[in-house]
Amino acid sequence: MVTQPMARVSLPSVVVVHYVDPVCPWGLGVERVVDELKGIYRDRLGVEYRVCVAVDDIDQWMQRYGFDSKSIVDFHKKISSLMGVSFDPEFIFKIGLNTSRPACRALKAAQRQGEPKASKYFRRMLKAFLIDVRPYNQDNIFAIAREAGLDDQKLSRDVNSKSVEEELNKDMEEREKIGASFQDIVISTAEGRSERVSGIFQVDSIVEIIDRLLPGLHKYTQGARLGVGQ
């Protein structure tokens, strides 16, 4: 019997780890950067999402950071300008956000159906809640899942499972351990080098870091942006 050689698995040369919450506006800016990096590196770049709850209780969150109904809108306008991405600065009030945990659990459950679909789901939730200001409720969380091509029946079975909660907690523990924020990414190479990058929304700066971590990594002609919601 002749044994056929095993096919080699092609792993990305560099991986970007992104800490996300589907109703956190920092995700819009980081996703814009990720889109451009994908255009530059294509299959040499992998993206991994760690799902973390940004807001368990909106009133406690606003009190913790010293926000009121005016200052949170002003803050959102500032970060929109910083990121170069537009969203509704009053989205919190317009969508009726109390806690982001249901969307986070749904996204974590969606990852069981594959990262491509989960990534599409994440982008569509960002667009739906922050840009289109659709009401933030369970019906829309599942409607957006169907729009992203997910099996919503499987999602409904998984979303409230103990194992999904454990996976969500693991992601949150990892973020807390390294002290990352929602505007951070972690760049890691296949050789084990890594660097945490905070609040950089200029792609050229990220490319410089990748060049330093992995000199000589081939760059393709930059492709078109995917765009949030696609």
Whether residue 225 is contained in a domain is answered as: no
Q: Are residues 97 and 58 in contact, defined by beta-carbon separation less than 8 angstroms?
A: yes
Tell me the mean pLDDT in the region 22-46: 94
Q: Report the run of H or E that residue 18 belongs to, with start and end.
A: strand 14-20
Please give the average per-residue pLDDT across 116-143, as a whole number. 97
Segment 192-200 shows an average pLDDT of 89
Q: What are phi and psi of 17, to 5 degrees?
A: -100, 125
Q: Which residue has the tokens 């050789």?
A: 191
- Tell me whether residue 224 is in a domain: no
Is the separation of the CB atoms in 190 and 12 below 8 Å? yes
- Determine the pLDDT at residue 228: 56
> What pLDDT does residue 226 have?
46
Strand partners, 184: 198
| Inside any domain, residue 155 | yes
Confirm whether 218 is domain-assigned.
no
What CATH number does the domain containing 117 carry?
A: 3.40.30.10
pLDDT at 172 over 60: yes
Residue 228 forms part of a structural domain: no
**For residue 80, how far is the Cα from the chain centroid?**
16
CB 37 within 8 A of CB 18: no
Residue 6's pLDDT band, with cuts at 50, 70 and 90, is very low
In a domain, 220, yes or no: no
Q: How confident is the model at residue 221 (pLDDT cuts 50, 70, 90)?
A: low
Range of the domain at 107: 14-211
- The answer to the question of residue 226 being in a domain is no
pLDDT at 13 over 60: yes
Q: Name the residue with tokens 């995917």.
A: 226
pTM: 0.89
| Range 207-212 average pLDDT | 94
Residue 8 belongs to some domain of the structure = no
- How many domains is the chain built from? 1
Q: How far is CA 35 from CA 16, 32, 124, 202, 207, in A?
A: 11, 5, 14, 12, 13
